[in-house]
Structure 1
Amino acid sequence: MVVALPWEVAPTLAVGARSSALGAGRLAWLGSFAHPDEALAGLAAAAGVAPELAAVDLRPGDPAHLWAARAGLPVRAVARHHALVAATMAAHGLGPDEQVIGFAFDGGGYGPDGATWGGEVLVAGYKGFRRVAHLGYVRCVGTDRPHRIALAHLRHAGLPWDLDLAPVRACSTRERRILAGQLDSGFGCATTTSVGLLLTTIAALHGRVTAPPGAGHDVRGPVAAVPGAIAGLHGLAGGRAAGGEPYPMRGLDPGALVRAVVADVRAGVPAQAIDARVRATLVALVADQARRCARETGLDVVVLAGDVFDDPALTVEAQGNLPDLTVLAGRPPMALGRLLCAAAG
């Protein structure tokens, strides 16, 4: 696939697990490759130019860092959620000096502070970003089992692990004891701000997701959206439950939302009604943060990026709730954003 770029760039190769892109001049060539060597060969042949710079994910130890060094290319690391916002900016033709209010909500990926980000509000352009807000940090033990994610969120919310809750029943007594020890001590844990993992928790609480067979992701790794998070997002997708009232949230602390959802689950509220209220809560959160940032920065363009916004009803409702701002969305390949962030310097 060949796409137009919003400004002229030096030959830059962005490599990633899902897609890679080579930009030169005002065009970029994109494709999916199993290995960076294949991306380099295939895209350089298509573009007729060799890259002068490699753009990679910020995560330390990413194999692409070592590959670029072996290939003799200078390396520029780009934060995942910056790249997500930049890709949407590029897809809508925003220029090299423009800035936006960017929401990057996804299953999670490495953040510059070493935590797993995924609930980010950024003031961003291609050249850089400033993190102005984020979902509250939650201590987790991996992301390979939805019920473990849910138990971590229950602990963060100050709720006991009572057996009337589906994710608690999904754990053996021994597993609960080990998890409790890790979450209390921090041993083997990482922290996350991921909205996708919060949605996984909610889906697990009303029995929608179980552990995916053979899963083995780690919360510290570069997860675009782990299987449990995808399942949680699908629980909200498709516009099946519209018109809910937002749950109360105290700022951006996910604990208040989890406590409210648990109360509804215990009261026998149908999953569809819970989904509608969760969507309404996210819409209200986006609107509140967007308006606050607009007042503080004078910016009037909002970008919705990340797989949480794959839910079309959520995206449409968020756009409709901000009639005074320009709201851009879409899912262009993240490699496009990584390329432009690196090229912008």
Structure 2
Amino acid sequence: MQRAGTELAAPVRRTRVMVRGVVQGVGFRPYLYGLATDLGLAGQVTNTGDGVVVEVEGEPEAVDRFCARIVPDAPPLAHVESVNTIDLPATGGSGFTIVPSDTAGPVQTLVAPDTATCGDCLAELANPADRRHRHPFITCTHCGPRFTIVTGLPYDREHTTMAGFPLCPECAREYHDPADRRFHAQPIACPFCGPRLRLVVTDTGAGIEEDPVDAARSLLAAGAILAVKGIGGYHLACDATQPEAVAELRRRKARGDKPFALMAGDVAGIEHLVHVGPVERELLTGRVRPIVLLRRRHAVRRGPGRLAPADAVAPGSPDLGVMLPYTPVHHLLLGTAHRGTRPAAPRLLVMTSGNVSGEPIVTDDDEALDRLAGLADAWLLHDRPIHMPCDDSVVRVCDSRALVLRRSRGYAPLPVTLPFPVVPALAVGGDLKNVFCLAQGDKAWLSAHIGDMDDLATQRAFGRAERQLESITGVRPGLLVTDTHPAYRSGAWARRDADGRPVARVQHHHAHIAAVLAEHGVEDGRRVIGVAFDGTGHGGDGAVWGGEFLLADYDGFSRFAHLAYVPLPGGDAAVRRPYRMALAHLRAAGVTADQDLPCTAACPPDELPLLLRQLDRGLNCVPTSSMGRLFDAVSSLTGVCHHAGYEAQAAIELEAAAVSSGVEDEDPRYAFRLTGCERPDAAPLAADPAPLLAAVVDDVRLGVPAAVVAARFHLAVARLVRTVCAAAHEAAGLDTVALTGGVFANVLLSSACARGLRADGFTVLRHQRIPPNDGGLALGQLVVAARAAAGVDDGRGSAPRE
């Protein structure tokens, strides 16, 4: 019984909250500090290897409100995956503090990607009264470098490449002020505490005294090529409105006809060149700011600040790859943060990866001065080290949805949530567009874009990136996974690095299909009709596959149908010279390759008889079912592209031609002939393109425009997909189709296939966040092998199901 004159003590509750996800390096501790303070709660918050741990004590209602607001009011760069609470005995403490990070225990937290400069920082960058006016490294808790500067976890300044830049008193005050936007922002700096920007010119090899940005602008205006150090590596830059400068950069980099990416100050600066829809605008102006492939306008106007000509930047491409500034240096170069009497800013810059062709992007300053010496006239560099290389991401829009073609800056190292748990594993991907994947439990981490594994420097970069991703994810793989191709360099790396660990092998196109399933969270055991179209993949029968219809789940696959085999004359030589594939396809179709056909005329006279003899005798002619090679053949047959200077050039230019045609109606003459038995237990169907090729030849000889032929061909391939999937549905009862492989980066084809399949009642799965090309291969490899002991290498690989 309560005594007279006394009051019951107010109830007090203490709760420990474990927050996991992307919660370090994004202002999460300052956010929780402010939230607890506003609610009158005592306690503390710290980073750990597992995430953020916060303890709050106070009135139970206030504690409940605190826990309820953790996710909805989280900082913009945070991504909360789980919140777990447990009640503790109250301690009677007062005040709320941020305590030093707890470095004990395993690392299991997530690192944020690099993020474009935020609006608040841009306002300060442009404000002459602000102490960070024109500071090239302005950042706060809402923006700036993260993944590329992290050297360890938990995420504190001493675990970043900013550790060598002690905070000046004013920055230290901001860092420790709970009311400041830079409270516990690890990368912050100012003009007094560094880093420093400088310009080095070829002539002297030394820095110049004037403002580096102003001097760089002057050099760009004079037609110079600059090596510009960014967040994840160097770019090579020139004024995109000067065709001579663009041509010189193309010559120095041995670029061939491969398109360059552009950087514009704002969307208005590119609207005269390309079509910008709402999804494209959001991608261009958002936090990631990837290169966005935008459909070119047919008539490009000329004049001051105009791209002259567009074909100097992206010859033969239906798109221009465009990005907007995402670092303070970019904003300063392009004048978006300062207008005035300083040297005029360029309106459009070519921005291409700073590397020698075939090598990984350069990140180290001394290496840049050496490796880029033959490419650049000057270097705009700085002394903040880049710990992890990270190329620009590439995205295009398909049916009003983003389709990631290269998943790198801004996306890596965000994890993919898997539909089932897996053992700790490393999948090493393929040899083109290499990306590897680490996974454990229900999380998979894809690396940033590594590149093509032909070059020894790229293989070394692979090893460094793999060790770094292990260090920040805490995954220690006990299983390694490779492609079944016996000569892949990625596979050789895995076997060398296995150190007694088992090595699993997964068939190329099975991995592509599994990647789509994993991206969409398809549950274990659900089979689909997988359509895997690409250029090259090692088949179980020793042929080069690439036009595949597989009945598949994570456990395995059966080959229901494929593009009919044709000889691949000379291997890679046929890839580089599409006319060889055109002649091979004509030979297989029984069509005479007379001199009036563009592909025959393109073949050098001394090569033609040797090629025909090679095809007759089958010398160095591996059979292929590749859909990518059929696109090459039609591209040459119509006179669009006979020589490919970069991967998929012939197919890209064929798509460009088709887009410009305006043709929407199918031509029944453009058809594939299906042979075989439509039973899952029988030999697979073969789709013979002979009737289609005969129709193409007839139209070419009649003078039908190449654009019309290209459009009819695309529609014919889409019709083939509908026809075979309908047959697979009848045979196996499956009603979900997964479209994957590099050919489906072609949005014209992807859209036509999806539209037709949905009209037929199918559920269609397509890539969005994971590339359809080999950049997504490792995810599929991993989910196939890491979920079952049957994936351990027994010399057979991931064999088709009998």
Shared topology, TM-score over 0.5?
Answer: yes
Task: Give distance in 1, aligned partners of 2:522 and 2:439.
Answer: 16
Work out whether residues 79 and 111 of structure 1, in 8 Å CA contact, stay in contact via their aligned partners in 2: yes
The structure showing larger relative contact order (alpha-carbon pairs under 8 Å, at least 6 residues apart) is: 1
Query: How far is 1:319 from its partner?
Result: 1.9
What is the correspondence of 1:220-259 to structure 2 with a 5 Å cutoff? 226-236=648-658, 240-246=662-668, 247-251=670-674, 252-259=687-694
Paired AA for residue 767 in structure 2: G
Paired AA for residue 737 in structure 2: V
Structure 2 portions without partners, runs of 5+: 1-412, 451-457, 675-686, 771-775, 789-802
Query: How far is 1:281 from its partner?
Result: 1.0
Partner residue in 2 for 1:312: 747
Paired AA for residue 21 in structure 1: C
**What's the secondary structure of 1:266's corresponding residue?**
helix
Structure 1 residue aligned with 2:488, among 52, 62, 71?
A: 62
**What's the secondary structure of 1:173's corresponding residue?**
coil
Partner residue in 1 for 2:568: 140
Partner residue in 1 for 2:535: 107
Query: How far is 1:232 from its partner?
Result: 4.1
Task: Give distance in 1, aligned partners of 2:547 and 2:437.
Answer: 26
Structure 2 residue aligned with 1:90, among 518, 528, 531?
A: 518
Partner residue in 1 for 2:718: 283
Cα gap change, 1:109 to 1:229, in 2 (>3 Å) = farther
- Between 272-281 and 226-235, the greater mean CA deviation after superposition: 226-235
Partner residue in 1 for 2:442: 26
Query: How far is 1:292 from its partner?
Result: 1.0
Query: How far is 1:63 from its partner?
Result: 2.6
Partner residue in 2 for 1:12: 425
- Between 166-175 and 234-243, the greater mean CA deviation after superposition: 234-243
Work out whether residues 579 and 602 of structure 2, in 8 Å CA contact, stay in contact via their aligned partners in 1: yes
User: Could you say which structure has the higher helix fraction?
Assistant: 1
How many corresponding residue pairs? 335
Query: How far is 1:183 from its partner?
Result: 0.5
Task: Give distance in 2, aligned partners of 1:257 and 1:188.
Answer: 26
Cα gap change, 1:239 to 1:66, in 2 (>3 Å) = same
Structure 2 residue aligned with 1:42, among 468, 475, 490?
A: 468
**What's the secondary structure of 1:85's corresponding residue?**
helix
Is 1:183 paired with 2:593? no
Query: How far is 1:159 from its partner?
Result: 1.6
Work out whether residues 635 and 651 of structure 2, in 8 Å CA contact, stay in contact via their aligned partners in 1: no
Work out whether residues 428 and 491 of structure 2, in 8 Å CA contact, stay in contact via their aligned partners in 1: no
Cα gap change, 1:61 to 1:88, in 2 (>3 Å) = same
Task: Give distance in 2, aligned partners of 1:9 and 1:79.
Answer: 19
Cα gap change, 1:262 to 1:173, in 2 (>3 Å) = same
**What's the secondary structure of 1:13's corresponding residue?**
strand
**What's the secondary structure of 1:344's corresponding residue?**
coil
Structure 1 portions without partners, runs of 5+: 216-224
Paired AA for residue 641 in structure 2: V
What is the correspondence of 1:138-177 to structure 2 with a 5 Å cutoff? 138-141=566-569, 142=571, 143-177=575-609
Task: Give distance in 1, aligned partners of 2:783 and 2:652.
Answer: 27
Q: Deviations over 1:133-177 (max 9, x none)?
A: 101000121322111111111111112221111111111222111
What is the percent sequence identity of the aligned residues? 40
Paired AA for residue 486 in structure 2: P
Cα gap change, 1:124 to 1:233, in 2 (>3 Å) = farther
Q: Deviations over 1:52-74 (max 9, x none)?
A: 11111110122333322322131
Cα gap change, 1:255 to 1:78, in 2 (>3 Å) = same
Task: Give distance in 2, aligned partners of 1:300 and 1:238.
Answer: 34
Between structure 1 and structure 2, the one with the greater Rg is: 2
Task: Give distance in 1, aligned partners of 2:689 and 2:624.
Answer: 11
Work out whether residues 120 and 133 of structure 1, in 8 Å CA contact, stay in contact via their aligned partners in 2: yes
Structure 2 residue aligned with 1:75, among 476, 500, 503?
A: 503
Work out whether residues 144 and 226 of structure 1, in 8 Å CA contact, stay in contact via their aligned partners in 2: no
Paired AA for residue 244 in structure 1: E
Q: Deviations over 1:167-222 (max 9, x none)?
A: 11111222111111111111111111111111111111111112134x7xxxxxxx
Query: How far is 1:235 from its partner?
Result: 4.3
Task: Give distance in 2, aligned partners of 1:8 and 1:210.
Answer: 47
**What's the secondary structure of 1:321's corresponding residue?**
helix
Paired AA for residue 720 in structure 2: L
Query: How far is 1:344 from its partner?
Result: 3.0
Cα gap change, 1:38 to 1:28, in 2 (>3 Å) = same
Task: Give distance in 1, aligned partners of 2:533 and 2:416.
Answer: 25
Work out whether residues 58 and 110 of structure 1, in 8 Å CA contact, stay in contact via their aligned partners in 2: yes
Work out whether residues 122 and 130 of structure 1, in 8 Å CA contact, stay in contact via their aligned partners in 2: yes
Cα gap change, 1:309 to 1:69, in 2 (>3 Å) = closer
Task: Give distance in 2, aligned partners of 1:239 and 1:42.
Answer: 48
Partner residue in 1 for 2:708: 273
Partner residue in 2 for 1:219: none
Paired AA for residue 726 in structure 2: R
Cα gap change, 1:50 to 1:235, in 2 (>3 Å) = farther
Cα gap change, 1:317 to 1:104, in 2 (>3 Å) = same
Work out whether residues 140 and 191 of structure 1, in 8 Å CA contact, stay in contact via their aligned partners in 2: yes
Task: Give distance in 2, aligned partners of 1:209 and 1:92.
Answer: 36
Partner residue in 2 for 1:340: 783
Paired AA for residue 427 in structure 2: A
Work out whether residues 582 and 599 of structure 2, in 8 Å CA contact, stay in contact via their aligned partners in 1: yes
Provide TM-score, normalisation by structure 2. Answer: 0.40
Partner residue in 2 for 1:192: 624
Query: How far is 1:234 from its partner?
Result: 4.7
What is the correspondence of 1:286-305 to structure 2 with a 5 Å cutoff? 286-305=721-740
Partner residue in 1 for 2:220: none
Paired AA for residue 339 in structure 1: L
**What's the secondary structure of 1:45's corresponding residue?**
helix
Paired AA for residue 765 in structure 2: L
Query: How far is 1:264 from its partner?
Result: 0.8
Partner residue in 1 for 2:767: 330
Work out whether residues 239 and 312 of structure 1, in 8 Å CA contact, stay in contact via their aligned partners in 2: no
Work out whether residues 57 and 78 of structure 1, in 8 Å CA contact, stay in contact via their aligned partners in 2: yes
Provide TM-score, normalisation by structure 1. Answer: 0.91
Query: How far is 1:37 from its partner?
Result: 2.0
Task: Give distance in 2, aligned partners of 1:64 and 1:110.
Answer: 14
Cα gap change, 1:66 to 1:174, in 2 (>3 Å) = same
